[in-house]
Structures are given as C-alpha cells and as structure tokens.
Structure 1
Amino acid sequence: MSAFFGDEAFGKQILPVADSLPDDFDGVPRSGEEYLLTVRRDARNLPHITRVPNPYELPERPQPTSDRDRLPAAHAALPTQEWCALYETRFRNFRKNLSQLTTRLQTQNTGRRVMPELTLRECWWAFLTGKPTEEWDPPRKRKAKLQRGMRGFAEDDKDEQAAATDAATAPTHGSLPIYKSPNQHRLC
C-alpha cells in the first residue's frame, strides 16, 4: 500500500490506539483504544470517493409530438401569453431607463430636510408616523445679523441702539434731550 492509504491519510494520531484486537473480540470494543482501532480499520477499508445516485433526479420526458399534447389548457387565474410578452417588454425598458444617466444630476436645494435633526425626539416621532413635513421639519429661526464683525461688541450694539431710542423719545429740557450713557448700568 502507498502512503496515501496508510495511517497518515486519516490524520495525525493524538489519542492512544490499541496495537491489535484480542483473540476473543466479539465486535463490541471494551475500551476507547479498541474502539479507535476498529474505527481506523473500517475507515481504511472504505473507498476514498463515493457517489450516490440522486434520489430527486427526474427521468427525461420525451418531447410531445402533437400540438394538443404540448400545451395544457391555461387556468383562468394565469396571465395570458400577450400579457407576459408585454410585461417582459416593459420590464426590459424599465431596466434600460434605470441604467441610463439622468440629464439633471444636480439636486435642488430647497432648504428642506430629508429627515429631522438627531436631537429632536418629537420631530422623529412625527416623521416615523408619517406626519406632514411641516410637523417634523419646522421652519428655522433666522438669526439676526450682527451690526459689527466681532461678537464681543454685539451686546454693546444693542445697548447703544436702546440708548439712542430712549434719548430720542425722552422728554427734553429746553432744546437738549436727556442723554443716558450705555455704560450707566454696568458695574465695571
């Protein structure tokens, strides 16, 4: 026998295997070593490649010879041949349309969101339950433009504007209006 059919073909031996079976062996192993010896012996006697016939293989049916035998009567619930042909044609055209590039690749930025912001739980519930867009995408609050370029002066601008309106509407003493400094309320 070649090395392929020897013990090397069944893998490396890790567990102890008996060297031989006792003379009074009745087919039932008494120890694990005897069991492993019988398993290896039976595996050595089996063929390495086995083919089983397919139980589900269907025999070839002869082709019908007459037109009446070839086409069974169509059930009323089945679609007609014309409908099937039209469906296939439309499906092929649909597939072609999907594979073609569109002429307008730019998305229109309408300022509307596709989904609500992550932090707005109530808007998500409205979105998931199919509510109108107005409920889950409320209009954004517009930020007031700052008068100056730096945010540090934004508060001062509001104070100056308030002081100017107070001065314009305040009662006058003679010809001069009463002037309120924007820094009067500050402690520093």
Structure 2
Amino acid sequence: MRGISKELCLTSTSARRNTSGFTQHLFPFRTKKWLGLVSNDKKLGSPSTTFARKSGAGFTFVEVMTVIGIMTVLVAASVPSYFTLRSNIFLSDEVQHAGETLRTAQSRSITSQGGFRHGVHFDSSVVPNTYGLFYIDDAGTSVYSSPSPLNHDLRFLSPTPADIVFAHLSGMTTAATVVVGYPSGDQKTIQIDANGKIILP
C-alpha cells in the first residue's frame, strides 16, 4: 500500500507540473486517436504513404500543338482543291444546260413547231451573260423568250454575241462553237457541226 500511494503521489506531482498536458501525459495514444490528431508516426502512416500517387494521363502541350499544326497544313492544302472542284462542277452544269437548250431549239425546228425556224441566242454583252431560245417568224423577225443567265462568274467566250439557228425539218445549221468558261480559268467548248450534231465536252 505504501508503494502504491507513493507512485500515485509521483504521478499527481508530475501532472501538476504540466497541467496543460495532463491528459496527454496519462493517455498519450488514446488522446491522439480520440482527438484525431495527425501523427507522423510510421505506425499511423501519412498521406504520402497511405494513398498511391495517381499517374497523369493525357497529351502534352507539344503533342497537342503538333496535331494542330498537321491539321492546319491538311486544311490549307485541301481548300484550293475544294474550290477548283466546285468551279468545275458549276462549269459542267452550265455547259450541260446550254447543250440541252440547243437540242430543244433543234427539235422544234425539226418538228417545225409553229412553222418557224428555232435557235438559241447567246449574249455576252450583258452581265451576267445570258442565253435563250428564240424563233424567226414569217416576217423574218426574231422573237426571243426569257433568257437564262450564266451563273458563278462564267462567260460566253465565243460566240460574242451570236445566234445559232436550225433549219426546218433537217435541223442542220452553220458549224459553230460555243465556249463557256471563266475569264482566267477553265473553259469548255460545245461544238455544233453543219449536220446539226451537238457535241458536248
């Protein structure tokens, strides 16, 4: 009993000397656990050792800039080709339509529609250039229908201007050429021979 009393007295004396750490002094492990204190003790572990460090995933700045550079070059190279293809499509469409107009005039002359000769009038003196059907009446007067304009900056480079007229029944005409195209670009030629054969490019 004397030994126990002596030990209690020593503990109490030590606690009085450090009252601020009395509880921690008596229960060091439990106090840390209950209060949630962060410990650098290896047994408790630290954030750097408890959690695995995630490895980064994605592209670097250099890789992204390289891809952007390649895409820019490809787009820049494809733009001229796109506009060239687009212009050729417009030109081909207009040539086909002009050829159909010539065949319509020829067909009307062969069937002697209205008893008149029929033809196509090409006019490059107006902007945009135009072309359209017409017929020549008994008095020799040309009667024109509403013309169709050339689109997309296309021009009739020849004839300028000219009328292509087909004969009654035979559909024959004077040999001629019609050149359609861009003033400083691609061109296509429609050929009409003396027998009335219409040749498209």
* Same fold (TM > 0.5): no
From the CA coordinates, give the structure whose radius of gyration is larger: 2
Q: Which has the higher helix share?
A: 2
Q: Which has the higher strand share?
A: 2
